Structure formats: C-alpha cells, structure tokens
C-alpha cells in the first residue's frame, strides 16, 4: 500500500532538515542553532540524555563543545566549561566549592568591583567569611597560610590598577592549607599567561574580552582538570547558565586570531605606556612592563610574550569632572566600560569597573577619581598616544 502524500503543512515543518549526499567538510564550523536533536535509534537517544551525544543544548551543544575544546587546548587544560558571561563563570566556581558556614574565601581587594560585589553577595548568603587582600603584596602568601581559606580567587593582572601577583607563591600557599586557587586570567588572555601551569586549579576567562576580541558576544570559560570541572558541569546543567550557539561561534571565530591580535595589542600597549610615562600631565602610569611598576620583576616571570594589553594612568590634579571631560574629548579611542576590542577603549575607573565598590573600598584599593584605564587597540600606537594626551590636556584645562 503506497503511503499517502504528506500535507503541505507537514512538509513545511520537516522539509530541508537533513543534508543528503554531501561529503563536504566546511572550513568554518557550522552554527548549530537547534536546541533539540533526535535519533532514529531509541538507544542512541537514551545515551544522548546522559551526555553521550547532542540532544538538548542545556546538556551539551555542538558550538559550545568546539569552543571549550579550543580554550582548553590554549589553557593547557584537560577540560573547559563555557558560560553565558564571565560573571556566570566566576559564580560557578564559587558555588562548585560547596562552602560551609564560616569557611573563608580570599579575593583581590584591588580587583574588579563587580566581582567583589558578587562575592560579597554569595558569601553573605552562604555565611562565608570574605577576606579581600592585596594579592600582589609579597606578604599575601603568608596571610593565606594564616587564614587557611577554602577558596582563593586572584586576578592575573588586576582590574583596573594592573597589579601582578606572584601566582606561583600564591599556589604554594594554597596547596599547604588545602585551598583551591582560581585565577581570573582575562587581562593577559591565554596568550599572555597560562595560569594552570603556574599552579592554579582553575583558569577563568571573560571570553567576551580578548578571546572574542570584537565586542559582539558575551561568554565566559573555566578551565582545569576533568575532576575539577565535573561539579561545574553538573551545576550548569541544573542552573542553565549555558552559552548560546551563535555566541559560542562568534567567540571561537575570534579565538582563531587570538595570537595574531594579542601580539599587536601587547606591542601597542608597551609603546603607549612608554610614551605616556613621558607626559608631565600625568601623575602616574600603570603598566607592568615599566621598570617603575612595583611588580615589574614578578611580571617578567609570570607573564608570557610581554606585559599585557592594558595601560592605566592618573591625570595630575584631576577629579571626576576632569575625567569625564577627558572621555568626551577623545577622537580615536572610544569611552566604553569593556575591553578587548580591536578599537582602543577607555574608561574612568571609579565610575565604571569600580562603580559598585563603596568609597571606602575604592580608597583601600588605591582607586582614585583621576584613574583612567585603557584597553589598547590595534590602531597606530602614535595615534592612540596623541589622542589620549590631547584629551588629557582638554580635561584639565581650566
């Protein structure tokens, strides 16, 4: 008995769902937008529900798997888990530690303000003690030994003051007291530092920044051993903090040119920092590659391929009004709260990255109202310098 032709309604639903007869291998990965997969075999479907294949994108998805494989390889890690943002990745690391009441967590006192607010919230909820420390201080490892924390979160290069902690010393202290060391290595990217090789248990990236490199996708990653990543994957499955397929595809597209881009970003940042250090309009220039930087010696040992793509400086005699006038006078660089783009991005630190810190926390960290952070782009470095100095002069003009 011949089968009745399908209704046009049914054809519209099912036609064009499979490519037949092609053995072509696309050079660029496909974008797998479907959230659901199906199988001819019920046994294969059953296995897929345990993660053996792609059946539902909250469990696993093709584009996120490709990105995770790429990031893990760059980080020198066994495994990687991706998230919808860098903040989601940081939260996942905190929650995966199963911290109990009165456990201690150490984090940078001079790091990213939103991370501090997140950890204050999570710590209060779990009744965990949060201890902000200047982790670039040579005495920081000794303080870790005294505190005996369960979790230490460090930044490879702090945001926005560009301090560089000795991750090797921190890792040794953490191992002595049984603490987990998680490192937010966003600023140098895997091009500039492989935190796991220095003793970290987790390497965290806001892949929105340098890994993506084009300001067109939010993403975060956590890399480490398969054992360390297992609880994070379980929590992600239940919590649904998954990265979308298009964002994963965009991020991996950016990752493919990471080393070419970062080499230029690093070189431009070094040039910009040296030139800015000559200006009488600036009170101080922060850049780990300058001999004047307090962590210059450590930076030479824990950073690879240079000293990073970020520069910060303090405008002499300026406050917030002068800082805002500076931003408005920029012609080449763009005032924006993020970083990692091919375009130079500039922000007033106290009102952006440190916005959610209290005035007392900013003062303790050394973040003043005249501090400017620069994510150095791929423009001609002299054009960047001239733009920054002209804007500084405009900002302080009375």
Query: Does 324 score more than 90 pLDDT?
Result: yes
What mean pLDDT value characterizes the chain?
94
- Domain 42-255 is of which CATH architecture? 3-Layer(aba) Sandwich (3.40)
Which residue in 174, 179, 237, 211 sits closest to 73, CA to CA? 211
Query: Does 19 score more than 80 pLDDT?
Result: no
Q: Residue 311 is encoded by which pair of tokens?
A: 């520069």
Overall residue count recorded for the chain in this entry: 398
pLDDT digits (tens, 9 = 90+) for 104-121: 999 999 999 999 999 999
Please compute the mean of the pLDDT values over residues 40-65 and round it to a whole number: 92
Provide the β-strand partners of residue 82: 221
Is 83 a catalytic site residue?
no
Point out the catalytic residue in the list 83, 112, 286, 287.
112
Name the pLDDT band for 1 (thresholds 50, 70, 90).
low
Name the pLDDT band for 14 (thresholds 50, 70, 90).
confident
Q: Which of 4-13, 191-200, 229-238 has the lowest mean pLDDT?
A: 4-13
For 21, counting Cβ atoms within 10 Å of its Cβ (0-12 exposed, 13-18 middle, 19+ buried), the class is exposed
The pLDDT value recorded for residue 133 is 97
Is 9 a catalytic site residue?
no
Percent of the chain's residues with pLDDT above 70: 99
Query: Does 152 score more than 90 pLDDT?
Result: yes
The pLDDT value recorded for residue 356 is 77
Name the pLDDT band for 398 (thresholds 50, 70, 90).
low
Is 316 a catalytic site residue?
no
Please compute the mean of the pLDDT values over residues 34-46 and round it to a whole number: 92
Name the pLDDT band for 362 (thresholds 50, 70, 90).
confident
The pLDDT value recorded for residue 134 is 97
Which residues contact residue 347 at a Cβ distance below 8 angstroms, ignoring those fewer than 6 apart? 160, 327, 335, 336, 337, 353, 372, 373
The pLDDT value recorded for residue 354 is 78
Point out the catalytic residue in the list 91, 104, 116, 209.
209
Point out the catalytic residue in the list 53, 54, 56, 58.
58
Tell me where in the chain the CATH 3.90.1150.10 domain(s) lie. Answer: 258-396
Please compute the mean of the pLDDT values over residues 306-321 and round it to a whole number: 95
Is 184 a catalytic site residue?
yes
Tell me where in the chain the CATH 3.40.640.10 domain(s) lie. Answer: 42-255
Q: Residue 322 is encoded by which pair of tokens?
A: 């002068």
Q: Which of 76-90, 249-263, 329-343, 346-360 has the lowest mean pLDDT?
A: 346-360
- Which segments within the chain are labelled E, that is strand? 79-83, 104-108, 129-133, 151-155, 180-184, 202-205, 220-224, 282-286, 310-315, 334-335, 345-348, 371-375
Point out the catalytic residue in the list 110, 166, 184, 201.
184
CATH 2.60.120.10 holds for 258-396: no
């Amino acid at each position: 008995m011949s089968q009745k032709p399908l209704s046009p309604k049914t054809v519209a639903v099912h036609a064009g769902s499979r490519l037949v007869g092609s053995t072509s291998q696309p050079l660029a990965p496909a974008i797998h937008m479907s959230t659901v997969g199906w199988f001819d075999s019920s046994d294969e479907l059953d296995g897929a529900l345990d993660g053996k294949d792609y059946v539902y994108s909250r469990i696993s998805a093709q584009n996120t798997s490709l990105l995770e494989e790429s990031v893990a390889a760059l980080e020198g890690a066994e495994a990687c888990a991706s998230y919808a943002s860098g903040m989601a990745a940081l939260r996942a690391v905190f929650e995966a530690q199963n911290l109990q009441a009165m456990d201690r967590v150490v984090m940078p006192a001079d790091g990213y303000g939103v991370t501090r607010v997140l950890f204050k919230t999570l710590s209060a909820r779990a009744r965990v003690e949060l201890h902000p420390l200047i982790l670039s201080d040579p005495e920081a490892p000794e303080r870790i030994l005294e505190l005996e924390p369960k979790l230490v979160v460090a930044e490879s290069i702090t945001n926005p003051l560009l301090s560089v902690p000795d991750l090797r010393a921190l890792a040794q202290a953490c191992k002595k007291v049984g603490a987990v060391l998680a490192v937010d290595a966003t600023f140098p990217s895997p091009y500039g530092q492989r935190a796991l090789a220095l003793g970290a248990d987790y390497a965290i990236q806001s892949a929105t920044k340098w890994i993506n490199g084009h300001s067109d996708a939010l993403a975060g990653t956590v890399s480490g051993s398969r054992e360390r990543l297992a609880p994070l994957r379980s929590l992600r499955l239940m919590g649904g903090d998954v990265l979308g397929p298009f964002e994963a595809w965009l991020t991996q597209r950016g990752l493919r040119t990471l080393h070419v881009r970062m080499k230029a970003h690093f070189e431009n940042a070094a040039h910009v920092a040296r030139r800015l250090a000559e200006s009488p309009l600036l009170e101080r220039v922060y850049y780990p590659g300058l001999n004047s930087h307090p962590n210059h010696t450590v930076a030479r040992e824990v950073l690879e391929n240079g000293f990073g793509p970020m520069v910060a400086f303090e405008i002499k005699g300026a406050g917030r009004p002068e800082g805002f006038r500076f931003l408005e006078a920029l012609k080449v660089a763009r005032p924006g709260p993020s970083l990692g783009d091919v375009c130079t991005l500039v922000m007033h630190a106290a009102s952006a990255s440190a916005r959610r810190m209290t005035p007392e926390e900013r003062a303790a960290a050394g973040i003043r109202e005249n501090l400017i952070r620069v994510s150095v782009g791929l423009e001609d470095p002299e054009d960047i310098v001239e733009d920054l100095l002209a804007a500084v002069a405009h900002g302080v003009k009375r």
